[in-house]
Amino acid sequence: MRSQIYRSVSNSLRSFISASKSSPLCAGRAVAAATATSFRGKAPAVASFYGRTESRHVPNGWLSGLLAVPAAVYMLQEQDVYAAEMERTFIAIKPDGVQRGLIAEIMSRFEHKGFKLVAVKLVVPNKEFAEKHYHDLKERPFFSGLCDFLSSGPVLAMVWEGEGVIKYGRKLIGATDPQKSEPGTIRGDLAVVVGRNIIHGSDGPETAKDEINLWFKPEELVTYQSNSEKWVYGLN
Ligand code: IDP
Ligand code: MG
């Protein structure tokens, strides 16, 4: 819901921006640039467009209306629009993937797609932790063996960010059973049996949130703007 609102606000602003490029009314681009300078470091004025934060920096009254809009438009012309509230998913290379030297290969598939790495660490989870991670499978006959395996060696835990990354991350990974994974997917290309399918990926927004919280502390997630974002995202 929030992301729908965000998208629709972003889209409206983008339309407004592209209209402004051809409209003499918005010779305001130059004005906006000038105005934006005085707003530098006061990003909350823009954040309020996403309904996240109330601006405390914009003065009240007619002047604020005049200044805030072009300033926000100017700032939103860049990749800020896309970086503001991207989806995140939890991806882990299991001990078989790590031991087989597939870390770089797997990371490069997410990286080359255009997704952004926002957290990564190599850890050996204990069995109790593995049981928490796979709690929804506790009734399955392979649960104990699966948790033994996940806790048997290093796991590369990661958080990847990008538009649609949860669902598309699963596509990149391929079907659970590598015998059924399409060629071109990570499991399809790099694994043979379900018990050694080398990678985990969150299967939905709720799981992604829970798994990120289980594996990472909030301060381990790095928010930054990637140089490639303006080439990965855009509307024509
Ligand atoms: P997923 O990893 O594609 O989300 P899940 O059904 O969530 O698949 O299962 C979690 C993991 O449990 C799988 O990745 C695989 O390692 C293991 N697993 C799933 N089904 C079987 C099975 O039938 N036998 C053995 N291991 C299984
Ligand atoms: Mg799963």
CATH code at position 166: 3.30.70.141
In a domain, 69, yes or no: no
Please name the helix (run of DSSP H) or strand (run of DSSP E) that holds residue 158, with its range, or none: strand 155-161
Q: Is 170 flagged in the annotation as binding?
A: yes
Q: What local confidence, expressed as pLDDT, does residue 84 receive? A: 52
Residues 129-166 as b/e (b if ≥16 CB within 10 A, e otherwise) read bbbebbeeeeeeeebeebbebbbbebbbbbbbbbeebb
Q: What local confidence, expressed as pLDDT, does residue 36 receive? A: 29
Q: What local confidence, expressed as pLDDT, does residue 70 receive? A: 47
Residue 170 DSSP one-character state: H
In a domain, 68, yes or no: no
In a domain, 87, yes or no: yes
Nearest residue (CA) to ligand 1, atom 26: 195
In a domain, 59, yes or no: no
The two three-digit tokens of residue 173, written as one number: 């990974």
Pocket test for ligand 1, best of 93, 132, 138, 146 (most atoms within 8 A of CB): 146
Q: Is 176 flagged in the annotation as binding?
A: yes
57 is catalytic: no
Is residue 81 within 8 A of residue 10, CB to CB? The reply is: yes
In a domain, 158, yes or no: yes
Question: Does residue 234's CB lie within 6 angstroms of at least one atom of ligand 1?
Answer: no
In a domain, 160, yes or no: yes
Q: What is the pLDDT of residues 86-113, one digit of tens each?
A: 999 999 999 999 999 999 999 999 999 9
Q: What is the pLDDT of residues 53-68, one digit of tens each?
A: 333 333 444 444 444 4
Question: Does residue 145's CB lie within 6 angstroms of at least one atom of ligand 1?
Answer: no
Is residue 118 within 8 A of residue 165, CB to CB? The reply is: no
Domains identified in the chain, total number:
1
pLDDT at 139 over 80: yes
Mean per-residue pLDDT for 179-190? 98
In a domain, 234, yes or no: no
Q: What is the mean pLDDT of the chain?
A: 77
Range of the domain at 166: 82-223
Q: What is the pLDDT of residues 28-83, one digit of tens each?
A: 333 233 222 222 333 333 332 233 333 333 344 444 444 444 444 444 455 454 44
Please name the helix (run of DSSP H) or strand (run of DSSP E) that holds residue 93, with its range, or none: strand 88-93
Range with lowest mean pLDDT among 10-19, 67-76, 133-142: 10-19
Is residue 105 within 8 A of residue 190, CB to CB? The reply is: yes
